[in-house]
Structures are given as C-alpha cells and as structure tokens.
Amino acid sequence: MLNLFVAVIMDNFDYLTRDSSILGAHHLDEFVRIWAEYDPNATGKIHYTEMYDMLKNMDPPLGFGNKCPNRLAYKKLIRMNMPLDDEMRVQFTTTLFALIRENLSIKMRSAEEMDQADSELRETITNIWPLQAKKMLDLLVPPNDQLNKGKLTVGKIYAGFLIFESWRNTRFGQIDSGMPKQTFFDCLLDMAALDKGGSRQGSISYEPNGDGATNSQTHLLAGTQQTNGDADHASLANLARRNTMRKRSVR
C-alpha cells in the first residue's frame, strides 16, 4: 500500500510541482528513507513526537530543518492537522501528503475556508485517481469525523503548545506564586488540546515570521494516553502546572 502511494505520487509529481526547484521526486525517496529510521518494522505509523523530531531533522523543502523556529513548526503542524490513533501515532501516507500539500500550497486557504478546500481536494483526487481513491482517499485527506470533537489531532496538540509557549514568554508566565489555580488559561489549553471542533474553522492560520526558536516541548505530552477509560484525561493545563512546579523546585 505504501509503495503504491509513493508510485502514484511520483508518476504525477511533475504535474503537482511544475517547478523542480520547489520539490522533486528525490525528496520523496528521502522522506521514505528517514521515516524508515523511525519505523524500522514498517508499521506505517510513528509517534507524533518522533514525527516532529523527524521533520526538524529533515532539510527543507519537505522537512522543517533544524534551524526552523519551534513556533513556526507548530504553525505548520496546526495547518497539517493529521489525526492520531489510540497510541498517539501519525500515519505515513497522511503525513507525507499533508507535507506535500502544505509545501506546494495545494488547496491551502485561510482557516475559515479549509473545510471547503478539503472537500474540493477530495473530489479532485477521486476524479484523477478513481481506483486508488477508493482505498486511500481518507488517508490522503482525512474526513471531518476523524477530526471532530473528542478526536485528538496533531493540530490540536501543537495549538496547545503554541498557546503555552506564548503564555510562558509573558510576564504572567513568569510569576512565582503558590500552587496555580484552575484559570481561564487552563481551560483554554484543555479546549485547544482535546475539545476543539472537527472543522478547521477558527484554527490558527499559518503566518511565517521570524520568531526566535525556543526549546522543544514535544516531550511534555509523550505517554499521556490514559489506559483506564474512567480515569481523568491528562491535559495540557496539568502539564503546564507540572512544568511550572518543576521550575520552582529548581529555584
């Protein structure tokens, strides 16, 4: 299945790129090679934190590059917004196509228009590759029911990280007081991480800027998936509080 997807994309890559200086078929080979380092058993899935590290270690134009500021990488991942499975992993095909779509601006619009753009792209893929689309359409362009409320996605996680990074750099994030109470900020983090609706409307748009790089926060959410369905779900707010408490203990 993975080889079929790569073959179809490579056969049509000249049509998709129209400019070899932007992306080329060799970039697909590079992506497959580097992915295999994180997925040696060829399961077709890797943890989202590994995906982030992989893209930071992969040179542009397909990857982000190690000089890409974390805030800019977060914004790209918010727009890509791949769904996660129960083990917090992203899928190979979905990730690759999201990267190609982002870097070539294939049906990429403002957040308010992305639902319509997704619908148009699904229709285009069905018309161009009718046989492959029957099996792979939902992998290439995930439907809204995979992004709905209650479904965790890459975009929701990194939206929470972006909010947390922005808050941490304000004077409010530096206040050294007692145990933090549940605040509006905590609720906002929870909503961004878990409860955001399935459509892309209202999501954070991609805005390239020169913000300086900050230390990676991808490890904060690793392993937070709860095995007990009755247990409280781990939230970004709790993680933020633990991070703040850890800083105070060092002082």
Instruction: Calculate mean pLDDT across residues 145-169.
Output: 88
Nearest Cα to Cα of residue 94 among 48, 61, 27:
48
CA distance 29 to 10: 10
CA distance 45 to 191: 26
Instruction: Calculate mean pLDDT across residues 166-190.
Output: 62
Instruction: Calculate mean pLDDT across residues 204-225.
Output: 42
Per-residue pLDDT, 215: 41
Instruction: Calculate mean pLDDT across residues 186-214.
Output: 49
CA distance 157 to 75: 11
Per residue in 4-58, pLDDT (tens digit) is 555 555 555 444 445 544 677 788 889 999 999 999 999 999 999 999 999 999 9
Query: Would you state the structure tokens that stand for residue 133, as one six-digit string?
Result: 């689309």
The pTM for the full model equals: 0.63
Q: What Rg, from alpha-carbon coordinates, does the chain have? A: 19
Per-residue pLDDT, 106: 87
User: ∠ CA 134-86-72 to the nearest 5 degrees?
Assistant: 85
CB neighbourhood size of 159 (10 A):
25
Instruction: Calculate mean pLDDT across residues 231-241.
Output: 49
Question: Going from the N-terminus, what domains does the chain have, and what CATH number goes with each?
Answer: 1-165 (1.10.238.10)
Question: Residue holding tokens 């362009």?
Answer: 141
- On the question of pLDDT at 87 being above 60, the answer is yes
Per-residue pLDDT, 43: 96
